[in-house]
Structure 1
Amino acid sequence: MQAVPHHEIVTRMLVVAWGLLLCLLVLIGRLGYIQIWQHRDLTAQAERQYRKVLVVHPPRGTIYDRHQKILAMNIDTDSIYARPPQIEKKAAMTQALASILRLRRGELRQKLYSNKPFVWIRRKVSPQEAAAVKRLTDRGIGLLRESKRYYPKRELAASLLGFVGMDNRGLEGLELLYDRYMYGRPRRIILEKDARGRTLPGEASSLPSSPQGLDLILTIDENIQYVVEKELSAQVKATQARYGVAIAMVPHSGEILAMATYPTFNPNRFRKYHPSRWRNRAITDGFEPGSTFKVIVAAAALQEGVVRTDEQFFAEQGAFAVGGVIIRDHKPFGWLSFPQILEQSSNIGAIKIAQRLGKERLYTYIRRFGFGEKTGIDLPGEIPGLIRKPRHWSRVSIGAIAIGQEILVTPIQLITAFSAIANGGKLVKPYVVQRIQREGQVVRSFSPQPIRQVISPAVSQELRTILQGVVERGTGKLAAVDGYTVAGKTGTAQKIDPQSKTYARGKVVASFVGFLPADHPRITLLVALDEPKGRVWGGTVAAPVFSRIARQIMPYLQVPAQNTAVVWAHPASSPRSQEAAGGDTSQATSFFAYAPLQAEWLPAGSDLP
């Protein structure tokens, strides 16, 4: 056998050595790649294999009224979950849970027999349900504490506040619009799992969480909101109306003190109501304003100087042709002064005033009063209404628009325009949130925002005097409030029949918009009822609601009245707090029965204690 040359042996050994070295380098490279470059991904994968992280939603910020009374808050509640691999007697557990939680057995069986390491059974259950589940003593069933939204005043201001979903995110109202402020950062719960993916028994651990969301302080006054809702709901029921809307606003600042719709709903159980109940009709629904719009026509005419307050207009004995269409008054009138046209709500008088203005100037003032565009109120879902440009008007349009037809307005637009007349002629943006705060510290605040001067203070004063006559001598007599001067205007607008596309008989929107005291207005109020039954004039069904609301809240706002008794109101826990004056004693005492106040009636002119 021939011997292998020495140099070949050396060569083979070097080849093997280099091969082993190369393999070693590849192995080291691979280990380095895994340990260094893939470290984060593999660590996360390992975490997922033996840990499960649940996201538990944080407490939302609290919503308060202007006096720090809670309107929306959070409560701790239990959520029930299952670890299917650890449940021993699944059939018995299915039956027990279905009975306690009133769940369908088929749906529950699908969850408990699954291979998933974790499933929710039901979240945010009642204390009674949680206690019953705890007694089951099965290690495959557990409970986690979560935050649940709670509205302690139930229906109060429901359409304005809105509500949240199961994940604590806002779905409607202020809860939706300010969700990014009120929604805190979620809390994470860690559940440990074994090699087979089964959740290990024992308490779940929590990772650090951020503080709860920010709080909202509203312009809403809980007591005024209560009075407005009480009187509105009573009148909707009494007149069998489809729905009603009422708003209370501070005319100089745009602050909304109350905003109500009826029928309403309980936001704690919002799913039990038809979605139409959730709508805030004060901003989402438009209607033809009817005779309340004559005030806008009158304001424009006075500002442009095309009429004088002492001027007379012939009302054609109740019938007048505009563009080939006969328009009638609710009763025949002869000669009427400019103030009497508003006092008696003469259609023909309003049309003649509008004709003097002309369609271009009339349209300009309609837009300057804010119609045809959103007011910008801090609530979701507002619509702009509708007013066509003059080039699209027909020959009859100037007459129709002058009496509140062929135009679509929202309640918030109408009360904002009337507030401009009340405050000296300045259009002010309405708003419902005063400030946003965290643990009492202001994060952001909101203040009144004047938009533009629509009419002069002098014209505003003339209109306030004329509108006072509407209540004292005209169609708004039932809006009067003892001890206070009231200015306002009635409206009765026919509704369009969707089938015939013509005005339907007996179907109207009856409204009243006004402010008081007339000379120095402190509050503007709007009341509108959709399709009331019986005597359906704005002066007969809406004006009385205005009166009942005003006579209760004026003493509460400490607005002094003349020639009436004085009420000294103070909390039961304090010897003195605030004073109020005027109004009917029975009504005010009824109001203070709701508010945490005690009322003592003193003779007019008495010194307050």
Structure 2
Amino acid sequence: MKQKNILNTFFDFFDKYPREYFIFAFFVVFALINISVVFSHTVVHHKFYNDLAFKQQVGKVSVPVTRGTIYSATNSGTVFSTSVSLYDIAVDPQMPGDKGKLSIFLRDIVYKQTCYLQSKKDCYQNILKFLKVPEIEDFSSEKNSIKELILKNIQEKLAKTKVTSVLLAEEIDNEKIISLSNLNMRGVYPNGNVLYVNPEEISDEVYVASKISSIIGVEEETVKELIKKRELRYIPIINRISISLSDEVKKFINEENEAIKKGVLDEDKSIGGFIILDAHPSRFYPEKQVASQIVGFVDSEGVGHYGLEGYFNDLLKGKNEERVSKKDIMGRIIDPINLDESELNGEGANIYTTIDRNIQSKVEQVLEDGVKKYRANKGTIVVMEPKSGEVLAMANYPSFDPNSSGDVYELEKVTYGKYPNPAIDLLGKVVLVEDSERGEEFFYDGKKLYLRLAEREELGNPALVKYKYKNDFGAGVYKNDAISGLYEPGSIMKAITVSAGIDTGEIKRYDMYNDTGELKIDTFTIKNVSKECIGYKSFNNALNFSCNVGMIRISQKLGKALFSQYLSDFGFGKASGITLDGEVFYPIQPYQKWSIAQLFTTSYGLGISVTPIQMASAYSVIANGGYYLKPRIVKSIIFPNGNTINYKQEVVSKVLKDTTSKTVTDMLVDGVENGVAKTGGVPGYTLAGKTGTSQIAYKGGYETGVGSTVASYAGFGPAEDPKFVIIVKLERSRVDIYGGTTASKMFAETAKYLFDYYGIPSKIKK
């Protein structure tokens, strides 16, 4: 209850004031941080750092300019990505002061960074990273228990007084590694393609330096200097602390310094002298996982990858200026010369997206809950404004935190306690098995392993030791499945087939056809799922109850050429052109190459691959009166000189007649009210919707059984004046395989939120 009260107080505080205040405060703090970069270099002075910069080489370095900021479309202007100086905390244990007091201070800082106001899950993961352990037995989320773990770790670090590990060389070839290993010298440790030494274990520095230098190609005097015994002057504690915590640390040190100057505090009782704050110009993502696959991330070299960071990398990074600098023997910058920011060639541009932060956050929560509830591998939800083509939300789960993008590579050992039926539980996930001959090098629990991808047939083999990524897909979570996740859409494609049939005049809503329940093509039999399809039925009924045979009858009337043209007009078979890095598409074959089977199966969403963004754009055509609009995720780009690029609504073509759009909308509404799409409805509101379930292709056929389908739901609302289109995709649900019992409920929850968010009143009178 105490923790809950703290959280309530925290969020009540934010509710009292407009969000703009906090955005303003953020940038005030940001400015102060940049102004105070000098702080970390002036509070503590160490001869140690000067001693490291010997044998310098003169070279050129690219001076980084401020990378542009990425904003949401929300009125408060939420920042998705920006550039700040974040700090690492380290300690010089040789300085005078109270180490006991220092340990307690650092313990509290680390606790705030790792666990304060964090969920138990996030706290646990953060503590694992801090302690650098794979797991903690009997972990307690109780505050004092966590602090004890942190304190013990810090005390062990502070007890060290000598340098015991020096990275001497990197990227050493195998021949040199073998030569170093053959030396068999105490304190010399070649490992992989790097060389470490422990100065405390080296008895003859001159002899060791003479042997090593000739192999690694570094001057003997340089090696001798690096391997000499010396006191430990730099102990890393925690990296990249939050802006608020770095402010807290700096304020504490300043107050201590003032107290020492005034004579009210003895230096031996202080701790500020120990603390080293190292500033790092960093890309900071205040919203963490929110919109991470839209935004992408920036690597340690300042290059953007995926999403907006990747697509607009050149605009965001601006143009860097080359300057002369001094470097050490490893090529690391020691002393930049004449760094004058006023002379830089150009700052990065700022990007304003169409993403509504509030909708994005809600949709991500709906998606995560749904994936976990239905035990699916992953999922995607896209929310689009049909009359403008603007993407309001684009969520994928699992996702990642761009602030620590490398965490996606963390492994876990597969246990039967967690995965009791591995052949089903692990299907479709990235699973690795030990293989010393064909495996690649991995590290787990401090040990080197050789692992390869597991074959499907090996998933259930209890004799094999298996590992998997904690997030199930490793670096695969960087991908935005809304634009790069191809899948066969299944029955949500039927709305497109019906639209083409009605628009051409080949069918009318209540035209009748005879449905026998199945249809044979060569050796294959295509069947309906619902018994409501059988008999002399209307095409309205065929869409209501998702009748495959009814869709085939429409495709027969349309023919290959006409149907192929409508698919193209709806945006299938080509890139949507959305301004995100990583979009893929599945080209549609020329209709002349279509078989009869392809014509038939495409009509009900099999044999054709699409992405969620393509489906959202296609349903927007039905919702907005028949226009295909290019999907947009960027509103504007503003350059430092004030020049602006505005991304406006772009009408590509008129696909459907107004009357067709109205008729198909009415049919989809009928499906929600009276058909199989009913579970996607929201009482009091008129929604248009369609369920979809498709089997996953495998080895020339389709999978069967639990976890073998993609469940989906597509629709829009309110039907009479659509404000949003929603596409839900759920991959390998193991609780239920159908879209009408899984994805539909996620659609309904999202739609209900949007009705409330937009203030659209219910038709039900209270």
Structure 2: distance between partners of 1:202 and 1:319:
77
CA shift in 2, pair 1:51/1:485, >3 Å? same
- Which residue matches 2:394? 259
Q: Is the 8 A contact 2:70 2:351 kept in 1?
A: yes
Q: How far, CA to CA, are the matches of 1:397 and 1:203 in structure 2?
A: 64
Partner in structure 1 of residue 339 of structure 2: 206
- Which amino acid in the other structure matches residue 646 of structure 2? S
Q: How does 1:252-401 map to 2 (within 5 A)?
A: 252-273=387-408, 274-316=474-516, 318-332=517-531, 333-401=534-602
Equivalent AA in structure 2 for residue 73 of structure 1 = T
Q: Aligned residue for 1:409? A: 610
Deviations 1:307-345 (A, max 9, x none): 1112112211x2222345321110332122121110000
Which residue matches 2:69?
62
Q: Please state how far the C-alpha of 1:392 moved relative to its aligned partner.
A: 2.1
Q: Which moved more, 1:555-564 or 1:391-400?
A: 555-564
Aligned residue runs from structure 1 range 440-455, under 5 A? 441=642, 443-455=644-656
Separation of aligned partners in 2, 1:508 and 1:250: 28
CA distance in 2, matches of 1:344, 1:191: 71
The answer for the alignment partner of 1:584 in structure 2 is none
Question: C-alpha separation between the residues in 1 aligned to 2:390 and 2:524?
Answer: 42
Alpha-carbon separation, structure 1, partners of 2:503 and 2:710: 29
Residues 404 and 205 of structure 1: CA distance in aligned 2, closer, same or farther (over 3 Å)? same
Residue deviations 1:517-571, cap 9 Å, x none? 1111110000010110122211110111011011112221233433356xxxxxx
SS in 2 for 1:288: coil
CA contact (8 A) 2:629 2:651 kept: yes
Amino acid at match of 2:79: I
Instruction: Quote the residue 1:75 is aligned against.
Output: 84
Q: Which one of the candidate residues 708, 713, 719 is aligned to 1:518?
A: 719
How many Å apart are 1:212 and its aligned residue?
Answer: 3.2
The Cα of 1:439 is off from its aligned counterpart by 6.0
Size of the aligned set, in residue pairs, is 493
Going from structure 1 to structure 2, the CA distance change for 1:444 and 1:358 (only over 3 Å counts) comes to same
Tell me: CA distance 1:113–1:309, structure 2 relative to 1, closer, same or farther (3 Å): farther
Q: Which amino acid aligns with 2:668?
A: L
* 1:401 Cα deviation after fit: 1.2
Contact 1:94 1:105 in 2 (8 A): no
Q: Is the 8 A contact 1:57 1:167 kept in 2?
A: no
Correspondence for 2:115: none
> Is residue 2:196 matched to residue 1:106?
yes
Structure 1 residue 362: Cα displacement: 1.0
| Structure 2 residue identity aligned to 1:284 | S
- Runs of at least 5 residues in structure 2 that lack an aligned partner in the other structure: 1-54, 91-159, 168-190, 200-215, 227-234, 254-271, 409-473
Native 8 Å contact 2:511 2:538 kept in 1: yes
- 2:754 is the alignment partner of 1:557: no
Contact kept, 8 Å, 1:329 with 1:348, in 2: the verdict is: yes
Q: Distance in 2 between matches of 1:107 and 1:550?
A: 61
| Cα pair distance change 1:293/1:113, threshold 3 Å | farther
1:205 shift after superposition: 4.8
Q: SS of the counterpart of 2:552?
A: helix
Identity %: 30
Query: Which deviations, in whole Å up to 9, do the C-alpha atoms of 1:71-116 show, x marking residues without a partner?
Result: 11121136899xxxxxxxxx98744888xxxx99818989999849
Q: CA deviation at 1:57?
A: 2.1
The range that moved more, 387-396 or 344-353, is 387-396
Q: Which residue of 1 aligns with 2:623?
A: 422
Give the AA of the match of 2:240.
Answer: S
Within 1, Cα distance between the matches of 2:661 and 2:333? Answer: 75
Match of 2:379 among 244, 260, 268: 244
For 1:503-582, list aligned pairs within 5 A: 503-506=703-706, 507-563=708-764
Partners of 2:164 and 2:197 within 8 A in 1: no
2:294 alignment partner, one of 142, 160, 177: 160
Residues 474 and 114 (structure 1 numbering): CA distance in 2 closer, same or farther, change over 3 Å? Answer: farther
Q: 1:212 to 1:65 in 2, by over 3 A?
A: same
User: 1 CA distance for matches of 2:563 and 2:761?
Assistant: 38
Deviations 1:223-280 (A, max 9, x none): 0001110001101001111110100000011100000111111111111102111110
Matched with 1:435 is 636
Change (3 A) 1:460 1:189: same
CA 1:203–1:410: 2 relative to 1, 3 Å = closer
Shift of 1:143: 8.6
Q: Deviations over 1:203-224 (max 9, x none)?
A: 9652244353111100000000
Gap change, CA 1:324 and 1:52, over 3 Å in 2: closer
How many Å apart are 1:126 and its aligned residue? 3.1
Q: 1:204 to 1:163 in 2, by over 3 A?
A: same
Q: Secondary structure, in 3 states, of the residue corresponding to 1:518?
A: coil
The match for 1:478 among 679, 687, 698 is: 679
For 1:606, the equivalent position in structure 2 comes to: none
Residues 96, 512 of structure 1: alpha-carbon distance in 2 compared, 3 angstrom cutoff: same
CA–CA distance in 2 between the matches of 1:524 and 1:326? 34
1:474 and 1:92, CA in 2 relative to 1: closer, same or farther beyond 3 A?
same
RMSD of aligned alpha carbons: 3.8
Unpaired stretches in structure 1, ≥5 consecutive residues = 1-47, 82-90, 566-609
Counterpart contact for 1:289–1:404, Cα < 8 Å:
yes
C-alpha separation in 2, matches of 1:534 and 1:381:
31
Q: Secondary structure at the match of 1:126?
A: strand
Conserved 8 A contact 2:165-2:196: no
Residues 547 and 440 of structure 1, relative CA distance in 2, 3 Å threshold: farther
Q: Report the AA paired with residue 532 of structure 1.
A: S
Partner Cα distance (2:564, 2:494) in 1: 13
1:489 aligns with 2:690: yes
TM-score (ref. length: structure 1): 0.73
Structure 1 contact 435–442 (Cα < 8 Å) conserved: no
**Is the CA contact 2:348–2:640 (under 8 Å) kept in the aligned structure 1?**
no
How far is the alpha carbon of 1:409 from its aligned partner? 0.9
Give yes or no for contact 2:513–2:536 (8 Å, CA) kept in 1.
yes
Question: What is the TM-score of this pair, normalised by structure 2?
Answer: 0.59
CA contact (8 A) 2:713 2:743 kept: yes
Mark the CA change 1:321 to 1:145 in structure 2 (over 3 Å): closer, same or farther.
same
Contact 1:64 1:70 survives alignment (8 Å): yes
Whole-Å Cα distance in 1 between the matches of residues 525 and 221 of structure 2?
Answer: 74
CA–CA separation in structure 1 for the residues paired with 2:82 and 2:282: 8
Distance in 1 (alpha carbons) for counterparts of 2:556 and 2:388: 34
Q: Which amino acid aligns with 2:649?
A: P
Shift in alpha-carbon separation, 1:549–1:113, aligned structure 2, 3 A: farther
